[in-house]
A = this chain, B = another copy of it.
Amino acid sequence: MKFFYNRSLLSENKIQKTADSLLPYIKHLQLVADKAGYADVESTINLPTDKKMLQEIIAMAKQKATPKLKYFIDIAIGASDLGAKAWYDAFWGFYDLLQPERFPKTIFLETPDEELLTKTIRLLTSLKSKEEFLINAVSKSGGTPETVVNLEVILDALKKRFGDVNDRLIISAGTDTPMFKLAKEKKLPLLEMVKNVGGRYSVFSSQGLLAAAVTGLDMQALCQGAVAMRQKCLDPDLLKNPAALSASIIFQHYQSGKNISDTFIFLPQLETLGKWYRQLMGESVGKEYDLAGKKVRQGITPTISIGSTDLHSVGQLYLGGPRNRISTFVWGENKKYEATIPQEMEFPVLDAVAGKSTHTFIRAVIEGVKIAYQKQQLPYMEVVLDTVSEYSIGEFMQFKMIEMMYLGKLMNVNAFDQPNVELYKKETRRILKST
C-alpha cells in the first residue's frame, strides 16, 4: 500500500506541526505493541500477532467448515459484522451472483427483515443435512437486540426441521456477558471476544477472522498485512507514517471547515470496506463531549463513493458544489484478472479505448478526476493498493484503525466509546416493554 498526500493543499510544515503533537501518543502505542496482550483500549493493534487466538479460530473453522458446508450464516450487526462483510464482499460477495456453484456462501443477517428471514429459512430448511449450514452469532455485548432477534427466529425454524442444531452454532461474545454464560452452560462452540478491544476495532479477532477462515480466505496474509502496516503507522518519523499524516490532514481541513471526509474507492468490490471505515469514523470522532467533558458536538461525516460509478452520481456535487470535503482516493489494479476492449469495436463511438485494457481505461478516469480536483482546488490524498489481496486489505484496515486513534487524539475525543447510541436504545427498550 502506498500513501500520497502531495495534493492535500496543505504545506508540509503545517502537516508536520500537527503530526508532531501526536508523538507522545505514538510512544504510548509503541509501548502497547511492545508489551503485547490486551491491557489497553488500543490493544487492537496486538490482535494480528496473537498466535494463540489465530490457532483457536483456525481449529474451529477446520472442525466446523467441512466440504459439505454451503451456507455460513453470520448473525451480527454494525461493528460485529462489517469487518467480516468487507472481506467477504471484496473476494466473494461482489461476485456471488456470477458464481452460483461456488460454496460456501455467506449470508449476513443484520437488521431483522421479515422477507430476508423468511427466505433464509426457506433456503436453509430445504438443505439435505445440517452439515450444509453453520451459524456464527457475534455480539460483543452479548445482547445486541437485532442479533438476538435474528438468532431466535432462525434457530426456532432450524430446530423444527433438523432437531438439535447446537453443533452448527458458534457463539462469539464478550466473556462476561449473559450470552457467553448461557452458551457455556449449553456447551455450545464458543469464541471469546477480547474485553478491551471495542467492536469497531475487532476485525482481526474472531469477529472477522472466523468468517474469513470458513470461506477460504488467507487469514495469515490478512494478519501479515496488518502487522507490516502497524510498524509503518507507529513510525515517529512522521513524514513516513501514513496514519499520522492522514489524521493530521483530515484534522487540519476539519478545523478550516471541511466537515465531510469522502473515501472515493475505484474498486467496486471494496464498497463494504468503505462502509467499515464509515462506521469506524462515524462512531470514533462523532462526539457530544470532548475528553474534558465539555459539550462540543463535533464530528466529521464520512461518505463512501465508488468510482467510476459515482462520478455519474455525486461527481457534479463534488466538482461544482461547496468545498466542504477532504477526499481520499483509493485505487489499485486487481492483478489476478484482466479484460480487454477489442480492436474492432461493434460501436466505434469512442475510438480511444479500442484495444486497451479496462485497467488502462480506469487509470485514465482516475487521472482525469485528479486533474479536475486540482483545477477546482479540491484537496485529496491517495491510497494505492498493490493489488486486491488479503495482504493489501489487511494493510488498509490497520492503517485506518490507527489513523482513527490519531484523529481522536487530535480532536480531543474518546475514539473508543459510543455513548449517544444509548439514547435511542433506552427508548426502544421502554417501548418494547410496554407493547
Contact = CB atoms under 8 A, between A and B. Distances in A.
B322 A299 contact: yes
B112 A358 contact: yes
Nearest to A80: B312
- Chain A: interface size category: 35 or more
A123 interface: yes
Interface string A405-435: 0000000000000111101111111111101
A67 interface: no
Interface string A322-347: 11110000000010111111100111
B316 A420 contact: yes
Contacts of A322: 259, 297-299
Contacts of A80: 312
A11 interface: no
A380 B361 CA distance: 42
Given A352-B432, A368-B425, A358 B282 contact: no
B324 A259 contact: yes
Contacts of A435: 356, 360, 364
A40 B23 CA distance: 61
A26 B352 CA distance: 45
A394 interface: no
Interface stretch (A1-9, A114-122, A228-236, A396-404): A114-122
The winner among A153, A313, A322 for most chain B CB atoms within 10 A is A313
B324 A372 contact: no
A152 B368 contact: no
Contact of A372 (B97, B122, B178, B423): B423
Contacts of A360: 432, 435
Interface string A265-299: 01111000001001100110011110000000111
15 contacts: A100-B100, A110-B309, A113-B268, A143-B349, A144-B312, A145-B361, A152-B342, A178-B347, A182-B349, A278-B313, A299-B321, A311-B424, A352-B432, A367-B428, A367-B431
